[in-house]
Amino acid sequence: MSCALLGVFLLPRRFALMGEGLGHCAIGVVGLALFFGWTPLPVLLPALVVAAFVIRWLSSRAVLYGDAAIGMVAVTGMAVGILLASTGRGFNVDLISYLFGDILAVSRSESMVSAVLCVLVVGATAVFYYDMVAITVDEEQSRVLGVNVKLVDAVLAVLIGLTVGVGIRTVGALLISGLLVFPAASALQVAGSVRGALFVAAAVAVAAVAGGIWAAFQFNWPAGPSIVVVCGVFFVGCVAFGRARGPARPAG
Question: Among 145-149, 182-186, 248-252, which is the least confidently predicted range?
Answer: 248-252
Give the pLDDT confidence of 202-252 residue by residue, as tens digits.
999 999 989 988 988 888 888 888 888 999 999 999 988 888 776 554 444
Vertex 64 angle, CA 63 and 68, to 5°: 160
DSSP calls for 22-59: HHHHHHHHHHHHHHTT--HHHHHHHHHHHHHHHHHHHH
In a domain, 218, yes or no: no
Decide if 242 is inside a domain.
no
Instruction: Please count the other Cβ atoms lying within 10 Å of the Cβ belonging to residue 146.
Output: 9
Which residue segment(s) compose the domain that 106 sits in? Answer: 2-175
What confidence tens digit (pLDDT) does each residue in 55-78 have? 777 766 655 555 666 777 777 777
DSSP summary character for residue 192: S
Task: Tell me whether residue 91 is in a domain.
Answer: yes
245 domain-assigned: no
Q: Give residue 88's pLDDT.
A: 57
Residue 202 lies in a domain: no
For residues 114 and 1, give the distance between their C-alpha atoms in angstroms, rounded to a whole number: 10
Decide if 12 is inside a domain. Answer: yes
DSSP states of 205-244 = HHHHHHHHHHHHHHHT--HHHHHHHHHHHHHHHHHHHHHH
Q: In this structure, is residue 27 part of a structural domain?
A: yes
Report how far residue 211's alpha carbon sits from residue 228's, in angstroms, rounded to the nearest whole number: 10
Residue 106 lies in a domain: yes
The Cα–Cα gap between 60 and 67 comes to: 12
The total of structural domains in the chain comes to: 1
Predicted TM-score (pTM) of the model is 0.81
Interval 73-85: pLDDT, tens: 777 777 877 777 6
Quote the CA–CA distance of 166 and 113 in Å, as a whole number. Answer: 8
C-beta separation of 20 from 7 below 8 A: no
